[in-house]
Amino acid sequence: MGHTVFHEGEGKDIDIANLSSSRRHAGNVQTAYKVGFPPQKSLASELGAKLRETFFADDPLRPYKGQPRAKQFLIGLQSIFPILEWARDYNLRKFRSDLISGLTIASLCIPQDIGYAKLANLEPQYGLYSSFVPPLVYAVLGSSRDIAIGPVAVVSLLLGHLLQKEYDYVKTREEYYRLAFTATFFAGITEAALGFFRLGFVIDFLSHAAIVGFMAGAAITIGLQQLKGFLGIQNFTKKTDIVSVMRSVWGAVHHGWNWQTILIGTAFLGFLMFAKYIGKKRRSLFWIPAIAPLISVILATFFVYITRADKHGVQIVKHIKKGANPSSVHLLYFSGSNLVKGVKIGVVSGMIALTEAVAIGRTFAAMKDYSLDGNKEMVALGAMNIVGSMTSCYITTGSFSRSAVNYMAGCETAVSNVVMSVVVLLTLELITPLFKYTPNAILASIIINAVAGLIDYKAVVHIWKIDKLDFIACLGAFFGVVFVSVEIGLLIAVGISFAKILLQVSRPTVVLLGNLYGTAIYRNIQQYPEANRVAGFVIVRIECSIYFANANYVKDRTLRWLRDEEEQLKENNLPKVGFLIVDMSSVTDIDTTGTHAFEELYNGLKKNDVQLLLANPGPLVMEKLHASKFTELVGLDKIFLTVDEAVTNCSVKVQEEA
Amino acid sequence: MGHTVFHEGEGKDIDIANLSSSRRHAGNVQTAYKVGFPPQKSLASELGAKLRETFFADDPLRPYKGQPRAKQFLIGLQSIFPILEWARDYNLRKFRSDLISGLTIASLCIPQDIGYAKLANLEPQYGLYSSFVPPLVYAVLGSSRDIAIGPVAVVSLLLGHLLQKEYDYVKTREEYYRLAFTATFFAGITEAALGFFRLGFVIDFLSHAAIVGFMAGAAITIGLQQLKGFLGIQNFTKKTDIVSVMRSVWGAVHHGWNWQTILIGTAFLGFLMFAKYIGKKRRSLFWIPAIAPLISVILATFFVYITRADKHGVQIVKHIKKGANPSSVHLLYFSGSNLVKGVKIGVVSGMIALTEAVAIGRTFAAMKDYSLDGNKEMVALGAMNIVGSMTSCYITTGSFSRSAVNYMAGCETAVSNVVMSVVVLLTLELITPLFKYTPNAILASIIINAVAGLIDYKAVVHIWKIDKLDFIACLGAFFGVVFVSVEIGLLIAVGISFAKILLQVSRPTVVLLGNLYGTAIYRNIQQYPEANRVAGFVIVRIECSIYFANANYVKDRTLRWLRDEEEQLKENNLPKVGFLIVDMSSVTDIDTTGTHAFEELYNGLKKNDVQLLLANPGPLVMEKLHASKFTELVGLDKIFLTVDEAVTNCSVKVQEEA
Dump pLDDT digits (tens) for A454-501: 888 998 998 888 888 788 889 999 999 999 988 888 888 888 888 888
Torsion angles phi and psi, residue A196, rounded to 5: -65, -45
Contact A5, A16 (CB under 8 A): yes
Nearest chain A residue to B536, by CA: A4
- B11 in contact with chain A, both atoms CB, cutoff 8 A: no
Contact A106, A339 (CB under 8 A): no
Q: Is A544 helix (H, G, I), strand (E, B) or coil?
A: coil
What is the pLDDT confidence band of residue A398, given thresholds at 50, 70 and 90? very high
Question: Is the CB of B23 less than 8 angstroms away from the CB of A536?
Answer: no
- A234 in contact with chain B, both atoms CB, cutoff 8 A: no
Question: Is the CB of B466 less than 8 angstroms away from the CB of A504?
Answer: no
Q: Is the pLDDT reported for residue A155 higher than 60?
A: yes
- Show residues of chain A in contact with B543, CB under 8 Å: 586, 588, 618
Question: Is the CB of B592 less than 8 angstroms away from the CB of A463?
Answer: yes
B29-43 tens-digit pLDDT: 455 677 766 666 666
A549-574 tens-digit pLDDT: 888 889 989 988 898 888 888 888 87
B59-82 tens-digit pLDDT: 777 777 777 888 888 888 888 888
Q: What are the angstrom distances between the C-alpha of B26 and each of A9, A28, A283, B519, B521?
A: 28, 8, 54, 10, 12
B332-369 tens-digit pLDDT: 999 889 999 999 999 999 999 998 898 888 888 877 77
Q: What angle do CA B421, B426, B430 make, to 5 degrees?
A: 155
Minimum distance, in Å, between the CA of residue B297 and any CA atom of chain A: 39
Question: Is the CB of B533 less than 8 angstroms away from the CB of A8?
Answer: yes
**Contact residues, B window 569-628, toward A, CB-based 8 Å cutoff:** 572, 574, 585-586, 588-589, 591-593, 595-596, 600, 603-604, 607, 616, 618-619, 622, 624, 627-628
Angle of the A440-451 helix axis to the A92-119 helix axis, nearest 10: 110
Paired with A193 in beta bridges are none
| HEC assignment per residue over A412-472 | CCCHHHHHHHHHHHHHHHHHHHHHHHCEHHHHHHHHHHHHHHHCCHHHHHHHHHHCHHHHH
Q: Is the pLDDT reported for residue A19 higher than 80?
A: no
B458-497 tens-digit pLDDT: 989 988 888 887 888 899 999 999 998 888 888 888 888 8
**Which of A468, A504, A657 should we substitute to test contact with B (largest number of B Cβ atoms within 10 Å)?**
A504
- Show residues of chain A in contact with B463, CB under 8 Å: 592
What is the pLDDT confidence band of residue A229, given thresholds at 50, 70 and 90? confident
Q: What is the pLDDT of residue B345?
A: 95
Question: Is the CB of B647 less than 8 angstroms away from the CB of A12?
Answer: no
Contact B127, B117 (CB under 8 A): yes
Q: What are the angstrom distances between the C-alpha of B301 and each of A536, B305, B314, B362?
A: 65, 6, 11, 38
ipTM of this complex prediction, to 2 decimal places: 0.82
Q: What is the pLDDT of residue B28?
A: 43
Distance, in Å, from the CA atom of A339 to the CA atom of A345, rounded to the nearest integer, reads 10
Distance, in Å, from the CA atom of A385 to the CA atom of A391, rounded to the nearest integer, reads 10
Distance, in Å, from the CA atom of A376 to the CA atom of A355, rounded to the nearest integer, reads 14
Selection from A609-613, B54-58, B75-79 with the highest mean pLDDT: A609-613
Among A121-125, A348-352, A589-593, B539-543, the range scoring the smallest mean pLDDT is A589-593
A71-110 tens-digit pLDDT: 888 888 888 888 888 888 899 999 999 999 999 999 889 9
**Which of B6, B602, B648, B650 should we substitute to test contact with A (largest number of A Cβ atoms within 10 Å)?**
B6
Q: What is the pLDDT of residue B22?
A: 37
Paired with A581 in beta bridges are A539, A613
**Mean pLDDT for chain B overall:** 85
What is the pLDDT confidence band of residue A342, given thresholds at 50, 70 and 90? very high
Q: What are the angstrom distances between the C-alpha of B499 and each of A280, A504, B92, B247, B262?
A: 45, 15, 52, 34, 45
Distance, in Å, from the CA atom of B265 to the CA atom of B223, rounded to the nearest integer, reads 13
A578: exposed, middle or buried (C-beta count within 10 Å: 0-12, 13-18, 19+)?
A: middle
A138-152 tens-digit pLDDT: 999 998 889 999 999
What is the pLDDT confidence band of residue A428, given thresholds at 50, 70 and 90? very high
Q: Which CATH architecture has domain A508-657?
A: 2-Layer Sandwich (3.30)
What is the pLDDT confidence band of residue A436, given thresholds at 50, 70 and 90? confident
Q: Is the pLDDT reported for residue B577 higher than 70?
A: yes
Q: How far is CA B633 from the centre of its chain?
A: 45
Q: Is B36 helix (H, G, I), strand (E, B) or coil?
A: coil
pLDDT: which is higher, A12 or A649:
A649
End-to-end CA distance of chain B: 43
B196-227 tens-digit pLDDT: 988 878 888 888 888 889 989 999 999 998 88
Q: What is the pLDDT of residue B20?
A: 37
Of B376, B290, B236, the C-alpha closest to B100 is B290
Of B260, B216, B262, the C-alpha closest to B242 is B216
Q: Which uninterrupted H or E stretch holds B6?
A: strand B5-6
Of A340, A329, A348, the C-alpha closest to A166 is A340
- Show residues of chain B in contact with A47, CB under 8 Å: 468
Nearest chain A residue to B2, by CA: A651
Percent of chain A predicted with pLDDT > 90 = 37
Question: Is the CB of A574 less than 8 angstroms away from the CB of B14?
Answer: yes
Contact B110, B396 (CB under 8 A): no
What is the pLDDT confidence band of residue A175, given thresholds at 50, 70 and 90? very high
Residue ranges per domain, chain B?
A: 98-502, 507-657
Q: Is the pLDDT reported for residue B281 higher than 70?
A: yes
- CA atoms within 13 Å, Cβ hemisphere of B200: 26
Minimum distance, in Å, between the CA of residue B240 and any CA atom of chain A: 28
Average pLDDT, stretch A604-612? 89
Average pLDDT, stretch B420-430? 94
**Contact residues, A window 306-345, toward B, CB-based 8 Å cutoff:** none
Residues across chain B: 658
Nearest chain B residue to A554, by CA: B57
User: B95: phi > 0 → left, psi -120 to 50 → alpha, else beta; which?
Assistant: alpha
B440-468 tens-digit pLDDT: 898 899 889 888 888 889 989 988 888 88
Beta strands in A516-600 (DSSP E): 522-524, 533-534, 537-542, 579-583
- Show residues of chain A in contact with B206, CB under 8 Å: 548
Minimum distance, in Å, between the CA of residue B492 and any CA atom of chain A: 16
Distance, in Å, from the CA atom of B165 to the CA atom of B240, rounded to the nearest integer, reads 12
Q: What is the pLDDT of residue B309?
A: 83
Average pLDDT, stretch A424-432? 91
**Mean pLDDT for chain A overall:** 86
Percent of chain B predicted with pLDDT > 90 = 35
pLDDT: which is higher, B477 or A9:
B477
- Show residues of chain A in contact with B462, CB under 8 Å: 592, 628
- DSSP code per residue over A203-230: GGGS-HHHHHHHHHHHHHHHHHHHHHHH
**Which of A548, A558, A655 should we substitute to test contact with B (largest number of B Cβ atoms within 10 Å)?**
A548
Distance, in Å, from the CA atom of B328 to the CA atom of A304, rounded to the nearest integer, reads 74
Domain B507-657: CATH class, spelled out: alpha beta
